């Protein structure tokens, strides 16, 4: 069954949505879209370093994504002008990644796959990494769900309950870095944040509780994967952008349904 590249692509995309659904809900609730952009852009630098140093791709990507996520989390707690700082960090990391890649023979040609994704080229080994990483993120979020939710709603309330809001930020930081690392081959560095935000934003329009929103974001993400792959096959369009385009259409429909409701 796994010899069919479309089935592997669908399994990879659905596996990824297990992480992007609930994590995307927290990204929307906490207004962390900038966080996802900076971390995903930095992933290109991780790709270049992985190829240059002979490291496994996912290891290099995860290392740089985690370093960027921790840097952003540290700066966000110190009152810096975050929009400016994040803009500098995100674009600088992307620029350095592209410049570094230009010195590595053979990588420049393949770089578009890491910018926009190449889900149709997912291998069995990639599937194992994607499902393993997504499962780890999902388990981490479920384990600390109530703590994360309380810290998201009100950090003072979380502190009064004996919880540490800083730990909640660290958990989300780690989860985001792992998600970026496993998602880069599917939708690419430029579209990872969209896959986190758009399905969650669509689910937010038609759900009434945090749990149903997280579940709804996962289902919208899975539907977007299926719809995007179908569109890519029939219209000969890039698979990663097609997935995000379908998610955007679902978001638009959710807005219309909310207004009519």
Please state, rounded to an integer, the average pLDDT across all residues of the chain: 86
Percent of the chain with pLDDT over 70: 93
Angle at the Cα of 1 (from 126 to 47), degrees rounded to 5?
15
Q: What is the band of 109 on the pLDDT scale with cuts at 50, 70, 90? A: low
- Selection from 21, 30, 4, 35 nearest residue 177 by Cα: 35
Tokens linked to 134? 């997504």
Please tell me the predicted confidence (pLDDT) of residue 215.
96
CATH topology of domain 5-192: ABC transporter involved in vitamin B12 uptake, BtuC (1.10.3470)
Q: List the chain domain ranges.
A: 5-192
pLDDT (mean) for 101-116: 73
Q: What is the pLDDT of residues 48-59, one digit of tens each?
A: 888 888 888 888
pLDDT (mean) for 23-44: 85
Q: What is the pLDDT of residues 64-96, one digit of tens each?
A: 888 887 887 777 656 555 667 777 888 888 888
Q: Which residue has the tokens 């540490």?
A: 164
Are 248 and 198 spatial neighbours (Cβ–Cβ below 8 Å)?
yes
Q: What is the pLDDT of residues 131-143, one digit of tens each?
A: 999 999 999 999 9
């Amino acid at each position: 069954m796994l010899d069919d590249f479309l089935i592997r692509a669908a399994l990879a995309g659905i596996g990824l949505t297990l992480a992007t659904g609930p994590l995307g809900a927290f990204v929307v609730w906490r207004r962390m879209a900038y966080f996802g952009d900076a971390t995903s852009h930095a992933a290109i630098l991780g790709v270049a370093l992985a190829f240059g140093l002979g490291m496994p791709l996912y290891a290099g990507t995860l290392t740089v994504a985690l370093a960027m996520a921790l840097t952003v989390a540290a700066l966000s707690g110190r009152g810096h002008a975050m929009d400016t700082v994040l803009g500098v960090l995100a674009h600088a990391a992307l620029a350095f990644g592209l410049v570094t890649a230009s010195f590595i023979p053979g990588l420049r040609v393949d770089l578009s796959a890491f910018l926009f994704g190449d889900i149709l080229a997912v291998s069995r080994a990639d599937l194992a990494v994607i499902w393993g990483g997504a499962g780890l993120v999902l388990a981490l979020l479920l384990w600390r769900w109530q703590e994360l939710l309380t810290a998201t709603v009100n950090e003072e309330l979380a502190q009064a309950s004996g919880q540490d809001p800083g730990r909640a930020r660290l958990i989300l930081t780690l989860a985001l870095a792992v998600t970026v690392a496993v998602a880069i081959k599917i939708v690419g560095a430029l579209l990872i944040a969209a896959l986190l935000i758009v399905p969650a934003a669509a689910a937010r329009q038609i759900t009434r509780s945090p749990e149903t929103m997280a579940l709804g974001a996962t289902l919208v993400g899975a539907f977007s994967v299926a719809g995007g792959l179908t569109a890519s096959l029939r219209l000969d369009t890039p698979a990663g952008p097609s997935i995000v385009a379908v998610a955007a259409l679902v978001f638009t429909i959710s807005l219309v349904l909310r207004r009519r409701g």
